């Protein structure tokens, strides 16, 4: 039976952070209720007994604004309509200040076994600049509660290259994160997203972007610190202890099938890329799918290359195109350029595998363009 990951989008946040362009907004109890009912209908209508669901990911937004009983309702609908593997990885994203011990125990009880908490920084001043609604103390308190509630698979998200952020402050945050000892760390470079307060402030000259060379130094020194403390980098921005790689997110980089449910979510299933509507009114009327695109063979090949290259293990050319020779035949027009990257140390080649080097990560977009 084919495996499937299920992503469920919860588009609610207490307040938008200054950098974030993810689809989310404020909620009230009435809207929350309607949304949960609409998701349950979507689950029923898109149910498929031909798959074995081995990962479920509640992402946001802030899924932890939903009570365990509400997440449980959605999860029950999934388990009653799909075949869910008994050891499925089930993740919930959570913001500090939304958690307490009863809630955390409740999540554990309904089967959530992985918690992903957005920390971003352990510097009070940077949290303020980012527009976060929590303090450093909130992170420590709720992380500790999560351990007490029995979570033994926790991810913490960190963002670097935040304006005004100093290199020393970042290293201090990472050192404290390592002391907290989570199983997984996501370490993201700040992306300047159109429509966010940060974007406007950069445009108006009220905030200065961290220069590229500083961003890269923060990435490489931060990575080294994590790696020397037993966190292996398995993807450009993701680090974990042995055996704690996020099985759900790996599906995106492995071109495995996943079904996205909820407002604005995306799916890759049965050779199709599907996109759900971003319009809450349409969604609540159960008109959820807005785009449907059948991947061509070329789409599948190029996407497998550039998502796969994000992984530390890189890609197997023969897995993608049958044999290494066929891979080079397929990319014969870009072969010289690809070999230039290999000879200049941006890509490494190891028999059947192509891997981005540390230097290559810094210009990954340029390299990936060869495979489009
Ligand atoms: C979908 S968000 C949900 C997390 C949760 N709502 C929170 O903020 O605690 C997942 C993560 O994406 C990252 N993120 C969001 N916007 C970003 C941006 N513009 N640049 C880099 N990372 C970003 C943050 O680290 C965030 O924790
Ligand atoms: S970072 Fe998290 S809390 Fe902040 S706006 Fe984005 S989804 Fe909401």
**What pLDDT score does 5 carry?**
98
- Domain final residue pick, 201, 227, 253: 253
Helical residues (DSSP H) of 82-121, grouped into ranges: 101-109
Q: Give per-residue pLDDT as tens, 248-269.
A: 999 999 999 999 999 999 999 9
The long-range contacts involving 231-234, CB below 8 angstroms and separated by at least 24 positions, are 231/178, 231/184, 231/185, 232/312, 233/312, 234/311, 234/312, 234/313
**What pLDDT score does 27 carry?**
93
Give residue 241 CA to ligand 2 midpoint distance, Å. 25
- For ligand 2, pick from 11, 92, 95 the residue to mutate: most ligand atoms within 8 Å of CB: 95
Minimum-distance ligand 1 atom for the alpha carbon of 19:
19
The answer on 116 and 36 residing in a single domain is yes
Residue 120 exposure: Cα atoms within 13 Å on the Cβ side: 28
Residues 118-140, buried b or exposed e (16+ Cβ, 10 A)?
bbbbbbeebbebbebbbebebbe
- Least distant ligand from the CA of 198: 1
- Domain final residue pick, 231, 253, 275: 253
Mean pLDDT of 313-338: 97
The answer on 43 and 184 residing in a single domain is yes
φ, ψ of residue 97 in degrees (nearest 5): 90, -10
- Residue 281 covered by a domain: no
What DSSP state is assigned to residue 312? T
The answer on 319 and 248 residing in a single domain is no
Q: Give per-residue pLDDT as tens, 168-188.
A: 999 999 999 999 999 999 999
**What pLDDT score does 335 carry?**
96
d(CA 98, CA 104): 10
Name the token pair of 86: 């008994």
φ, ψ of residue 218 in degrees (nearest 5): -65, -40
Give residue 26 CA to ligand 1 midpoint distance, Å. 16
Bridge partners of residue 347, in order along the sequence: 356
The answer on 227 and 141 residing in a single domain is yes
The answer on 227 and 92 residing in a single domain is yes
The answer on 310 and 363 residing in a single domain is yes
- Least distant ligand from the CA of 121: 1
The answer on 320 and 245 residing in a single domain is no
Minimum-distance ligand 2 atom for the alpha carbon of 132:
4
SS3 304: helix
CATH code for the domain of 354: 1.10.10.920
**What pLDDT score does 230 carry?**
98
CATH code for the domain of 9: 3.20.20.70
Give residue 158 CA to ligand 1 midpoint distance, Å. 8
Minimum-distance ligand 2 atom for the alpha carbon of 21:
6
State which residues form the domain around 105. 2-253
**What pLDDT score does 53 carry?**
98
- Domain final residue pick, 232, 253, 274: 253
- Residue 259 covered by a domain: no
Minimum-distance ligand 1 atom for the alpha carbon of 96:
9
Location of structure tokens 């009327």: 285
The answer on 188 and 332 residing in a single domain is no
SS3 92: strand
- Residue 125 covered by a domain: yes
* pLDDT band of 309, cuts 50, 70, 90: very high
* pLDDT band of 162, cuts 50, 70, 90: very high
- Residue 175 covered by a domain: yes
Query: In the structure, which protein residues have their CB atom closer than 6 angstroms to any atom of ligand 2?
Result: 13, 16-17, 20, 22, 24, 60-62, 95, 118
Q: 186, 201, 96: which is closest to 144 by C-alpha?
A: 96
Give residue 34 CA to ligand 2 midpoint distance, Å. 21
- Residue 179 covered by a domain: yes
Neighbours of 147 (CB within 10 A): 16
* Alpha-carbon distance values, 188 to 70, 162, 302, 315 (Å): 30, 10, 24, 22
**What pLDDT score does 166 carry?**
95
- Residue 149 covered by a domain: yes
Q: Which residue's alpha carbon is at the smallest distance from atom 7 of ligand 2? A: 61
Neighbours of 184 (CB within 10 A): 22
- Residue 134 covered by a domain: yes
The answer on 129 and 13 residing in a single domain is yes
Give residue 17 CA to ligand 2 midpoint distance, Å. 5
The answer on 202 and 127 residing in a single domain is yes
The answer on 362 and 229 residing in a single domain is no
Q: 92, 84, 83, 234: which is closest to 155 by C-alpha?
A: 92
- For ligand 2, pick from 9, 10, 12, 16 the residue to mutate: most ligand atoms within 8 Å of CB: 16
Give residue 51 CA to ligand 1 midpoint distance, Å. 30
Minimum-distance ligand 2 atom for the alpha carbon of 133:
3
Environment class of residue 173 by beta-carbon count within 10 Å: exposed (0-12), middle (13-18) or buried (19+)? buried
Q: Which residue's alpha carbon is at the smallest distance from atom 4 of ligand 2? A: 17
Total of domains in the chain:
2
What DSSP state is assigned to residue 311? B
- Residue 53 covered by a domain: yes
- For ligand 1, pick from 13, 15, 22, 263 the residue to mutate: most ligand atoms within 8 Å of CB: 22
- For ligand 2, pick from 26, 27, 60 the residue to mutate: most ligand atoms within 8 Å of CB: 60
The answer on 244 and 310 residing in a single domain is no
**What pLDDT score does 70 carry?**
98
């Amino acid at each position: 039976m084919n495996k499937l990951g299920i992503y469920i989008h919860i588009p609610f946040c207490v307040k938008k952070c200054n950098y974030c362009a993810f689809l989310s907004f404020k909620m009230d109890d009435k809207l929350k209720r309607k949304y949960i009912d609409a998701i349950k209908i979507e689950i029923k209508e898109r149910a498929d007994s031909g798959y074995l669901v081995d990962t479920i990911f509640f992402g946001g937004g802030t899924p932890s604004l939903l009570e365990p009983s509400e997440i449980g309702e959605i999860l029950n609908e999934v388990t009653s309509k799909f075949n869910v593997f008994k050891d499925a990885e089930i993740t919930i994203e959570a913001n500090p200040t939304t958690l307490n011990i009863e809630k955390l125990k409740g999540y554990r009880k309904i089967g959530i076994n992985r918690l992903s908490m957005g920390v971003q920084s352990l510097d009070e001043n940077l949290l303020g600049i980012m527009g976060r609604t929590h303090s450093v103390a909130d992170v420590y308190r709720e992380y500790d509660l999560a351990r007490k509630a029995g979570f033994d698979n926790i991810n913490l998200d960190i963002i670097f290259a935040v304006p005004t952020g100093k290199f020393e402050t970042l290293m201090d945050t990472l050192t404290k994160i390592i002391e907290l000892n989570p199983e997984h760390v996501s370490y993201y470079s700040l992306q300047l997203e159109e429509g966010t307060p940060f974007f406007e402030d950069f445009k108006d000259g009220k905030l200065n972007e961290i220069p590229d060379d500083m961003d890269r130094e923060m990435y490489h020194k931060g990575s080294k610190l994590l790696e020397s403390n037993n966190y292996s980098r398995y993807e450009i921005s993701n680090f974990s202890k042995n055996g704690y790689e996020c099985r759900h997110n790996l599906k995106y980089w492995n071109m495995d099938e996943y079904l996205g449910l909820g407002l604005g979510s995306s799916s890759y299933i049965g050779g199709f890329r599907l996109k759900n509507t971003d319009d809450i009114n349409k969604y609540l009327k159960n008109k959820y799918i807005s785009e449907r695109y059948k991947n061509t063979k070329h789409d599948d090949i190029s996407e497998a290359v550039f998502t796969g290259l994000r992984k530390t293990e890189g890609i197997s050319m023969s897995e993608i195109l049958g044999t290494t020779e066929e891979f080079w035949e397929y990319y014969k027009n870009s072969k010289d350029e690809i070999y230039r990257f290999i000879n200049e140390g941006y890509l490494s080649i190891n028999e059947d595998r192509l891997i981005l080097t540390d230097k290559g990560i810094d210009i990954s977009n340029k390299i990936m363009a060869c495979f489009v």
